Chain A
Amino acid sequence: MTVSQKRSLCAWSFIGVPLIYFILIRFYPSLDAFSIAFTDWDIVGEKKYIGFDNFIVLWDDPIFWIVLSNTFEYLLLGVPISLLLSFVIAYFLDQVRFGHGFLRACYFIPFLTTAVAMAWVWRWFYQPVPVGIINLGLGKIGILQFDFLRSTTEALPAVLAPAIWAGLGFQIVIFIAGLRAVPITYYEAAKIDGATSWHILRVITLPQLRSTIVFLVVISSIGFLRIFDQVYNMTQEGEGGPLNATRPLVLNIYKAAFENFDMGMAAAQTVVLFTLLLIITIIQLRILRK
């Protein structure tokens, strides 16, 4: 055996077992999910291939459209709000020396919490008086009360808030890392030219942070598109109510698969989710390649 043959053999012996794992636990299930999407299957009986029927049913299902619009609402509210907040905090936190570590820790700790646990904390906060902290506090200073989780319009933002809150810490530390990577000479040159800090922010900082921003937009988009834990734990019986007002795609998938055992419909919706994520990734690659 030549040296290169020997090394090749060694390589395969290293990756052999992991490769089998990836084939059995990642590839095969991925293909299987696509194939189930085209069946009518209650998980115990025979799989019946029905072509695109599941997708046609979804298209005609008003609840599916509500679910899809909720999902986009999470995405379109969550991404800009969380990125704006985290950028502003990171931008100023980066300039602060006194108590920097303490402040950073306070912003970062929510990222380490368990979504399920925090969903219940926030659910408590949102309760009507005399239980909920927020309404209790608002009552003390005599302003109006909110229905939060009981209202079809307020529930979705109320569920979204803990998701944004928990993700901020991650985005802030990534932004700070990005800010520190901007060459200091750029700033010095700008200062010599007498640029204002607003001008520096627009012309130097933000363009330099482009790849950081793209990265965070993609990561947080993927996160908000897949929101589940908060909705399941904050709404009555985990239904995504009231009246489906908070139900996102993943909860709808979960209900279809593990409560109604309509595996075909559930898999079809995972294909929709996959397509959405694929589109985001492609857009990201396009932007970064420029």
Chain B
Amino acid sequence: MNKNKASLNPKKIIIWTFLFIGAVIMMTPIIFMFSASFKYNDQIYDLTLFTSDFTLDNYIYLLENTDFIVWLSNSLFISLFTTFCVLFFDSLVGYTLAKFQFNGQKIVFIAILSTLMIPTEMLVIPWYIIARDFGLLDTYLGLILPGIMTGFGVFLMKQFFEGVPDDYLEAARIDGVGEFTIFIRIALPLVTPALSALAIFTFLGNWTAFLWPLIVSSSAELFTVPVGLASFSGEFQSDWELIMTGAALATLPTLLVFLILQRYIIRGVVLGGLKG
């Protein structure tokens, strides 16, 4: 206690106060969003955050009268499936590039690395044409296909697999373990920090993705949360309490996951950000 008091100089208190005000400002949009989602239409015109007669009507309305449940499950399914594919394929390719010697290895790596240069916005037009020609417009496959492998993930995983000692893999080989089993059972568990970083980025990227889902899906049953929310909000322009409820439903899942896994998520973001 005494130690703390000794370090409690005015400068520190001022810094802390400013940081606290900043933190409150950062959270303001999210707090007001949740607050409005529990209000009746005529209450959102006042600044009181939480009134005593809060209501769940907005949530009930959205779940009963719109496809929000469908959009949430679409987003969840697409994000999880894509993340699983990215983790598997990107680490398989990263592992192969890091731990095997073969002809054309350099070309393959540079080729995959070069895909990082191409922005999604450039690819959506050809993707749209491919999807149309193969009948993938307005299908789950069409939504998912462009994202199941990423150059970023391959690059990230390759860097981490290079840090795995060859001795471990050699020892397993001498014991007659198959190459694929070595990858799954021995190499992958050694790079779990990288895997979780990649999982966070991929899941978040897909959960919030807007441009491609907006382009490829046209029927409401295939909308993801962002696309559904955009079309819904465009329709209900002045019902701000309903729009805020939709926004809250879109935010809630990632917020909950963050509150549970906070430390891992921040560590993963730093790891993925710096190494990627």
Contact = CB atoms under 8 A, between A and B. Distances in A.
Of A19, A106, A121, most buried by chain B (CB within 10 Å of CB) is: A121
Contacts of A257: 124-125, 128
Nearest to B266: A173
A208 to B, nearest CB: 14
B15 A96 contact: yes
B210 A124 contact: no
Contacts of A32: 125-126, 129
B102 A124 contact: no
Contacts of A108: 258, 266
B32 A133 contact: yes
B229 A116 contact: yes
B19 A21 contact: no
Interface in A1-49: 4, 7-8, 10-12, 14-15, 17-19, 21-22, 25-30, 32-33, 36, 43
A130 B42 CA distance: 11
Interface stretch (B52-60, B89-97, B189-197): B89-97
A12 B211 CA distance: 34
Interface in B137-165: 145-146, 148-149, 151
Contacts of B44: 131
Contact of B243 (A120, A170, A277): A120
B177 interface: no
By secondary structure, the A interface counts as: helix
Interface string B108-121: 10011001011101
Contacts of A18: 89, 92-93, 149
Nearest to B95: A14
Contacts of B125: 32-33, 36, 257, 263, 266-267, 270
Interface string A100-144: 011111111111111111101110110100110100110010000
Given A121-B247, A173-B266, A33 B22 contact: no
Interface string A142-169: 0000000000000000000010010011
Contacts of B265: 112
Interface in B1-52: 12, 15-16, 18-20, 22-24, 26-27, 29-30, 32-33, 36, 44-47
B166 interface: no
A118 B269 contact: no
A85 to B, nearest CB: 9
A26 B243 contact: no
Interface in B52-74: none
A21 B148 contact: yes
A169 B255 CA distance: 14
A53 interface: no
A115 B210 contact: yes
Nearest to A211: B274
Contact of B270 (A22, A118, A173, A258): A173
B102 A7 contact: yes
A196 interface: no
A120 B30 contact: no
Of A103, A117, A162, A237, most buried by chain B (CB within 10 Å of CB) is: A117
A198 interface: no
A253 interface: yes
Contacts of A267: 122, 125
A115 B207 CA distance: 10
Contacts of A110: 26, 29-30
A125 B29 contact: yes
A26 B16 contact: no
Contacts of A75: none
B121 A270 contact: yes
B153 to A, nearest CB: 11
A235 to B, nearest CB: 11
A229 interface: yes
Interface of A: 4, 7-8, 10-12, 14-15, 17-19, 21-22, 25-30, 32-33, 36, 43, 89, 92-93, 95-96, 98-99, 101-118, 120-122, 124-125, 127, 130-131, 133, 136-137, 140, 162, 165, 168-170, 173-174, 177, 215, 219, 222, 226, 228-229, 232-233, 237-238, 250, 253-254, 257-258, 263, 266-267, 270-271, 273-274, 277-278, 281
18 contacts: A11-B101, A18-B92, A22-B115, A27-B115, A30-B123, A33-B123, A96-B19, A101-B262, A106-B26, A110-B30, A116-B250, A121-B29, A121-B32, A121-B33, A173-B266, A250-B121, A270-B119, A274-B117
Interface of B: 12, 15-16, 18-20, 22-24, 26-27, 29-30, 32-33, 36, 44-47, 89, 92-93, 95-97, 100-103, 105, 108, 111-112, 115, 117-119, 121-130, 145-146, 148-149, 151, 179-180, 183, 204, 207-208, 210-211, 215, 225-227, 229-230, 233-234, 238, 240, 243-244, 246-248, 250-251, 254-255, 258, 262, 265-266, 269-270, 273-274
